[in-house]
Amino acid sequence: MPEGHAIHRHGRILTALFGGDAVAASSPQGRFAEGAALLDGLRAGRAHAWGKHLFWPFLSTSEQAAAGGIPTVELGDPQATWLHIHLGLYGKWAFAGPGVAGLHGAGIRVSPTEDSGMRKTIDGGQDGTTRLVEAPTGGRDGLPEDNIQVLGELATTPTTRLRLAGPEAVAQLTGPARCEILSGEEVLGVIARLGPDPIRNEEGDRQRFVAGARRRKIPAGQVVMDQAVVAGPGNIYRADCLWRTGISPLRPANKVSESRYRELWDDLVLCMGRDVDSGIIVTIPPEFQPDPIPEGDPELSRFAVYHRTGRPCVRCGAIIREELMAGRRLFWCPGCQR
DNA sequence: CTCTGATGGCTAC
DNA sequence: TAGCCCTCAGAGT
């Protein structure tokens, strides 16, 4: 169940594992057989992420004779074959192969604790399985929170929508809400419906967010989940970043001041950007982190209000509340969010 | 074994 | 707003 930080992370990992290489693509499940056939044999470029969407360009090997390095392709480039993936609620990537060990060098932490659980690389390969490179120790939380599994064995299953194999790695995708081939023009069409992404944080994005949010009359808590206003935050960042900036999710969006929206944008930029590296969301400020860290319920050491219904707010002591907002569980503190 | 819910989002009424 | 889709871990019987 990924929020935007995980998708950016997947983009980095996929680029590090496959960028510049020709890939063998297949759809063991069969539901992406046509798309996989289009990708098969193409050379992977640098993956782009925008909000919760992944856009990954592939180029024919002939137009890549130059070789060397990872092809960087502008979002929407008409020359590329674009793989578009949206994980929805249950989508997951699994990786294996020697390249996974090199992710550390690329600045990507695959397990939350550096140097933990490393094992010797063995590339099996017969009968379609690939052996472990790094054990999923999971560090402190023990959870692959970013929907990545680094498995001891990567056998295909009846639900493997897409399998990619390159010289250094194998990646398998299960359960995506969207997995399709798009033209460059279609990529731009998808992006046109998305608001600014705090992880991209491009020129003018903050003001675009502020203006977009102020225009709405729905509750602020709904605006933060509206991907047309801001692309990337999900239920956790919605709850906790509103808490961090002291904004009540119940307040009508057009009644929140511009300066508070600027603070919220900056906070989303800070939290989400930082979590791309670890893949683990940690939104509770360090001074409020429980000490010692409780056993058995890692969420308590990571979130301030998310999944903390009925507990006292770590900042003001009021009891955290929960209600259903537009079909999603909303958590907030009635004491310090106004 | 069955049932539920989950960090999402689309479409139809 | 309800229904539906994607998958599977964890809880309940």
User: CA–CA separation, A303 vs A317, rounded Å?
Assistant: 15
Longest CA–CA span in chain A (Å) reads 64
Mean pLDDT of A166-172: 93
Instruction: Mark whether A38 and A172 lie in a shared domain.
Output: yes
H or E element in which residue A220 lies: helix A220-223
Q: Calculate mean pLDDT across residues A108-132.
A: 34
Residue of A60 and A122 predicted with greater confidence: A60
Q: Do A219 and A122 belong to one domain?
A: no
Same domain, A35 and A181: yes
| CA atoms A58, A62, A67, A72: torsion sign | negative
Which single residue has its CA nearest the C1' atom of nucleotide C4? A177
A264 CA – B2 C1', rounded, Å? 43
Contact A245, A228 (CB under 8 A): no
Element (H, E) at A325: strand A321-325
pLDDT at A88 over 50: yes
Q: How far apart are CA A210 and CA A198, in angstroms?
A: 12
pLDDT at A129 over 60: no
What does the pLDDT read at residue A15?
96
- Among all protein residues, pick the one whose CA is nearest to the C1' atom of B8: A88
pLDDT of A249 over the 90 cut: yes
| pLDDT at residue A290 tops 90 | no
Residues A115 and A11 both lie in one domain: yes
Asked whether residue A332 carries a pLDDT value surpassing 90, the answer given is yes
Whether a cis peptide bond, with omega within 30° of 0, leads into A285 is: no
Q: Tell me the pLDDT of chain A averaged across its residues.
A: 86
Residue A207, pLDDT score: 98
Domain shared by A169 and A35, yes or no: yes
Spatial distance between the Cα atoms of A307 and A311, rounded to a whole number of angstroms: 9
Query: Is residue A338 included in any domain, yes or no?
Result: no
Within this chain, do residues A13 and A137 fall inside the same structural domain, yes or no?
yes
Same-domain check for residues A107 and A158 = yes
Query: Rounded to 5 degrees, what are φ and ψ at A77?
Result: -55, 125
Q: Are residues A247 and A179 in the same domain?
A: no
Within 7 Å of a protein beta carbon, the nucleotides of strand C are 1-3, 5-8
> Looking at per-residue confidence, does A110 or A81 come out higher?
A81
Domain ranges, residue A160: 4-189
Judged against a pLDDT cut of 90, whether residue A63 lies above it is answered with: no
Predicted confidence at residue A125, as pLDDT, reads 26
* Contact positions of strand B to protein Cβ (< 7 A): 6-10
Q: Which residue, among A43, A34, A36, A39, has the nearest Cα to A15 in the 3D structure?
A: A43
Is A126 in the same domain as A16? yes
Do residues A214 and A181 touch, judged by C-beta distance below 8 A?
Answer: no
The residue among A165, A189, A213 that closes a domain is A189
Q: A226 and A248 share a domain?
A: yes
DSSP state letter for A251: S
Residues A252 and A180 reside in one and the same domain: no
- Residue A337 resides in a domain: no
Cβ pair A113, A139 in contact under 8 A:
yes
How many Cα atoms occupy the beta-carbon half-sphere of A226 within 13 Å?
A: 18
Give yes or no for residue A279 having a pLDDT over 90: no
Contacts of A219 (CB under 8 A, 6+ apart): A249, A250, A251, A252, A253, A325
Nucleotide nearest to A327 (CA to C1'): C1
Q: Are residues A236 and A206 in the same domain?
A: yes
Instruction: Using CA atoms of A232, A235, A240, A245 in order, give the dihedral in degrees to the nearest 10.
Output: 60
Q: What mean pLDDT comes out for the span A129-148?
A: 38
Nucleotide nearest to A177 (CA to C1'): C6
Higher pLDDT, A139 or A280: A280
Q: At A312, which CATH number?
A: 1.10.8.50
Minimum-distance residue to C2 (CA–C1'): A327
